[in-house]
Structures are given as C-alpha cells and as structure tokens.
Amino acid sequence: AIDEQQFVLHFQPQLDAEDRVIGGEALLRWQHPTRGLVGPNDFIRVAEETGLIIPIGQWVLETVCRQIAAWSTRPELAQLSLALNVSARQFHNANFIFHVISALEDTGAAPQRLKLELTESLLLDDVEDVIAKMNMLKELDTGFSLDDFGTGYSSLSYLKCLPLDQLKIDRSFVRDVLTDANDASIARTVVVLAQNLGLSVIAEGVETEGQRDFLIGNGCQAFQGYLFSRPLPLADFEAYVSARSSQS
C-alpha cells in the first residue's frame, strides 16, 4: 500500500466551546483497489505486529507535516493544530526522533502546530526512555496529547513526569456520560485532573448536544466527534473550516 500510494489521511475537526475549529486529527485510511476504503482498525494491529507501522507511521508523519506547511500560507487554516496518532512501537523505535526532525525540516512545518497523540500503552515499558524522548521532542516545540485517557494502565504518578499538553477523554466515557453515573464521574475527574496538572482537555466521540453541554458544564473546552463532523477527506475538511470561519 505504501509503494502503491494507497494510504490517505482523513481529518476530523476539533472545536472549542464557541464552535470555532481549533485543529484536526489525522486518521489513516487504506484506499484498497478492490475492498474500497479500509479503516485503521482493520490493519493497524497487523502493521504493529509486523513492524510495518514504522514506514506507515513515517508516511503519516511526513504527510501531516506537509499539510501543516501547506496551510501556513492560508489565513483560515494557518492557526490550526494537526494531531496524529503514534503507536507505541513507532515511538520506541530508535529512529523516531530523527524521523520527526527530518519531517519538520524537510517540509518546513511549524512544530507548534504538530500534536503527537500517544496512548498509555506507551508507558508499559521503558518509561525512562519515553520521558527522555518526549522531553527531546518538547525541545523542538511539538505538542503531546494523551489519547484514550483512562482506558489503559498508566500510573497517575507518571503523568506529572511527562511533558504533556493535553488529556483526551476517551470515547467510551463520553458515550454514556448522560446515562451512566460512573462514566460521568470519570469524565468530570479527567477534566479536574487536567486542570490541576495545567493541561488542556479534549473530549472525543461527542455525538449529541447533551454530551457537549454536560462536558462544557464540567469545564471541558474542546471537542471532537460526529456531532460536529466525521473525519473528512482533505478538500472537505478545508471547506468545513472555511464555512465555519466565514460564519464567525
């Protein structure tokens, strides 16, 4: 698929509490010649197991950086942050830092616009190495969001050692936030935790006004989900942002 250039990125808008688009998340799709558009749940795991996640992840990184650079000359798009998902195996790879530096240098992308989404599974081994690498990337001025927060095994004491910028409330907690008291407390707790650690917080999988209102009422200021938009092909994402910025 890499050789045949069959991978594409879709972009899902991220909005603030005033409905302004503040960024997007790049999500990988495989444009398969006979199977059509294949989602990452059907191939990322195999890619991780085989090690192919390294070249695939590198392609995602370069494509995202190229996109950030391309948007930098377009006023309505230049301020957006663009998040990408980094697998634990990719992050642990000895060349990862080098790949990020090269992608930034080759494209001229502003590192402040690049946000790396990491998961708690990253912290399962060699935490010292993870912290050292994150600090190196932080020196470059890239951002970090902790994806699927609360679903993994991370020790809360690690949180204060990591140079994170954002916690991402997992979709599974957002889904039942209005019907399940436990999920509601977890979502509220993640917001408070982020506030106390000086981090921003974003909720993913927001599908209804009710969920959004609950989250806003509890201090969450950023949102992503089908309520606003599904992940979109590049041209549609750009049109979505243009339409929103001309409204305001």
Instruction: Determine if 14 is a binding residue for Ca ion (CB under 5 A).
Output: no
Smallest distance from the beta carbon of 43 to ligand C2E, in angstroms? 9
- 3-class secondary-structure state, position 46: helix
Q: Compute the distance between CA of residue 199 and CA of residue 151 in angstroms, rounded to an integer.
A: 18
- The C-alpha R_g of the chain, in whole angstroms, comes to 18
Of the candidates 213, 185, 190, 217, the residue with the CA atom closest to the CA atom of residue 201:
190
Instruction: Determine if 148 is a binding residue for Ca ion (CB under 5 A).
Output: yes
* 74/95 with CB nearer ligand C2E: 95
Instruction: Determine if 117 is a binding residue for Ca ion (CB under 5 A).
Output: yes
* 67/85 with CB nearer ligand C2E: 85
Smallest distance from the beta carbon of 71 to ligand C2E, in angstroms? 18
The stretches of the chain forming alpha helices (DSSP H) are 44-50, 53-71, 75-78, 88-92, 96-107, 127-140, 156-159, 171-175, 181-197, 209-217, 234-247
Which does residue 87 touch among Ca ion, ligand C2E, none (CB within 5 to 8 A, set by kind)? ligand C2E
Do residues 48 and 28 make contact, with C-beta atoms less than 8 angstroms apart?
no
Tell the residue number behind the tokens 């750009």, with chain if given. 238
Instruction: Supply angle C-alpha 191, 174, 150, rounded to 5.
Output: 60
Summarize as ranges the residues that interact with ligand C2E (CB under 6 A): 12, 27-28, 39-41, 44, 57, 60, 84-85, 87, 147-148, 171, 204-207, 225-226, 231
Which does residue 202 touch among ligand C2E, Ca ion, none (CB within 5 to 8 A, set by kind)? none
Which does residue 226 touch among Ca ion, ligand C2E, none (CB within 5 to 8 A, set by kind)? ligand C2E
Instruction: Determine if 85 is a binding residue for Ca ion (CB under 5 A).
Output: yes
Instruction: Supply angle C-alpha 98, 24, 186, rounded to 5.
Output: 100
Smallest distance from the beta carbon of 168 to ligand C2E, in angstroms? 8
User: Residue 160: left (phi > 0), alpha (psi -120 to 50), or beta?
Assistant: alpha
The answer for residues whose C-beta is within 8 angstroms of residue 143's C-beta and 6 or more apart is 81, 112, 114, 115, 116, 165, 166
Instruction: Determine if 165 is a binding residue for Ca ion (CB under 5 A).
Output: no
Smallest distance from the beta carbon of 34 to Ca ion, in angstroms? 28
Which does residue 194 touch among Ca ion, ligand C2E, none (CB within 5 to 8 A, set by kind)? none
* 147/238 with CB nearer ligand C2E: 147
Smallest distance from the beta carbon of 224 to ligand C2E, in angstroms? 6
